[in-house]
Amino acid sequence: MTTEPLSRARILAAAIDLIEREGADAVSMRRIAAELGVGVMSLYNHVPNKDALLSGVAETVLSGIEFTDDPGAHWSDRVRTQAHAFRQIAHHYPRSTMLVVSRTLHSSAGLLPVERALATLRGAGFDGIDAVRMLRMFIAFIVGSLLREVGVTPTFAPPQQHRAVSAEHVDPELFPHVSELAPLLVSCDHEAEFEFGVEMLIQAIAVHPARREGTR
């Protein structure tokens, strides 16, 4: 048992570790207290309730995003950098990332990535409505890629090793394209797939009719 004083940071770290091992459904104030070897009531001096605990987890994950994009760079390069930064943290904390996209956050740590993304999209020539829509589109794509890549399901079940399509079980008469492309359907280069998706979204943004001309 550690002699390190109990703190909000320690409590959140224990919650993140538990979520990544067992999923968000395993989290309770009593369980976190047991993980830390302290009395459950002592947690309330640092975290008022479970809801605040889960919000703290989401904010901690977001605060770990490392932004290295250049404010003076072209907007498309900034979008790429930000998308990769979010993917990196999501890949590191896949189950905790699900909390990020399911909770309304108000702290500086939670709002900073959103502020940067919106600033980039506004700088690309979009008004507020379209900037918000595009931010949500990118988040949906990144989270969808994460679900496919690490096997996190809506119930936070452990990753399942399975083959989505098996060539030997496909009738080529009924499903000629599936049969022909089965070797491609059962394999996936996640990095290449992510790059392809980001580039497709950037190209779609670049030619969107709502985008103002003359922006970088």
Domain containing residue 20: CATH number: 1.10.10.60
What confidence score (pLDDT) does residue 4 get? 79
Share of the chain above pLDDT 90, in %: 31
Alpha-helix runs per DSSP H in the chain: 8-22, 29-36, 40-43, 50-63, 75-92, 94-100, 108-123, 128-150, 176-185, 190-206
127: which residues sit within 8 A by CB, 6+ positions away? 210
201 assigned to some structural domain: yes
Task: For residues 13 and 57, give the distance between their C-alpha atoms in angstroms, rounded to a whole number.
Answer: 8
- Sign of the CA dihedral with 91 first, then 92, 93, and 95 last: positive
Tokens 């990144």 — which residue? Answer: 142
Residue 59 CB neighbours (<10 A) = 21
Range with the poorest average pLDDT among 7-21, 63-77, 93-107, 191-205: 93-107
For residues 194 and 108, state if they share a domain.
Answer: yes
What confidence score (pLDDT) does residue 50 get? 93
Give the count of domains, the chain. Answer: 2
Residue 15 near residue 27, CB atoms below 8 Å: yes
Confidence band of 107 (pLDDT split at 50, 70, 90): confident
Task: For residues 132 and 140, give the distance between their C-alpha atoms in angstroms, rounded to a whole number.
Answer: 12
pLDDT in tens, 162-198: 445 555 677 888 878 877 877 777 777 888 888 998 9
pLDDT in tens, 142-154: 888 887 776 654 4
64: which residues sit within 8 A by CB, 6+ positions away? 89, 92, 93
pTM of the model: 0.74
59 assigned to some structural domain: no
Q: Is the pLDDT of residue 35 over 80?
A: yes
What confidence score (pLDDT) does residue 14 get? 96
What confidence score (pLDDT) does residue 2 get? 52
Tokens 């809506």 — which residue? Answer: 154
Q: Residue 187 sits in which domain range?
A: 67-206
